[in-house]
Amino acid sequence: MTSLLAFTVLVVLVALERVAEMIVSRRNAEWSFERGGVESGQRHFPVMVALHTLFLVGMLVEAWWRRPDVPGVLAWSMLAVVILCQAGRWWCIAALGRHWNTRVIIVPGTPPVRRGPYRVLTHPNYVVVVVEGVALPMVHDAWITAVVFTVLDAALLTVRLRVESAALRTLPAAQPAG
């Protein structure tokens, strides 16, 4: 029971982190729109919000319903991955600065960001989302949620990546440093 309560606290903390993301996102959206930002992909956004909300609820329901006996090595290793995911997520947010958003909003004329994890990957935040989609539920062996979310999120990310990549192609090419 103690580990189940600890897992519940962890999921609540992640949910609060998502609220913090939404606050940053709204502030950055306002900034982008003030500078002529153009939004793409509005139709898939409510689906994304619903899926990520159900992800948090689903793993708690599964954990409380199934009450699995979770091996310590699984719980602790997955918790370490979740913590690394949070660090990675905020590294992405910091690297994009005012351009980071949960929506796809492009400010015309601004070059693409090529610092932080964006030096190496075009969409590092989605790598974090995919890894966390497995790791967070597996902290308490909520494997059903991990599988269902991963499959549904793969379909959603296919749409999201198309929308975001098309929007990014409207930006001027990044200038080489120097």
- Say what the pLDDT of residue 172 is: 85
105 DSSP β-pair partners: 39
- Among all chains, which residue has been given the structure tokens 């995919």? 130
Q: Which residues contact 52 (CB under 8 A, 6 or more apart)?
A: 18
DSSP 8-state secondary structure symbol assigned to residue 173: P
Question: Residue 126, CB half-sphere, CA atoms under 13 Å: how many?
Answer: 16
What's the CA gap between 23 and 50, in Å, rounded?
Answer: 17
In this prediction, residue 53 carries a pLDDT of: 97
pLDDT value of residue 1:
59
What structural domains does the chain harbor?
2-168 (1.20.120.1630)
- Please give the pLDDT value at position 150: 98
Q: What is the pLDDT along the chain (178 residues), one digit of tens a residue?
A: 579 999 999 999 999 999 999 999 999 999 999 999 999 999 999 999 999 999 999 999 999 999 999 999 999 999 999 999 999 999 999 999 999 999 999 999 999 899 999 999 989 999 999 999 999 999 999 999 999 999 999 999 999 999 999 998 998 865 444 3
Q: Return the residue matching tokens 């979770």.
A: 70
DSSP codes, 91-147: HHHHHHGGG--SSEEE-TTPPPP-SGGGGT-S-HHHHHHHHHHHHHHHTTT-HHHHH
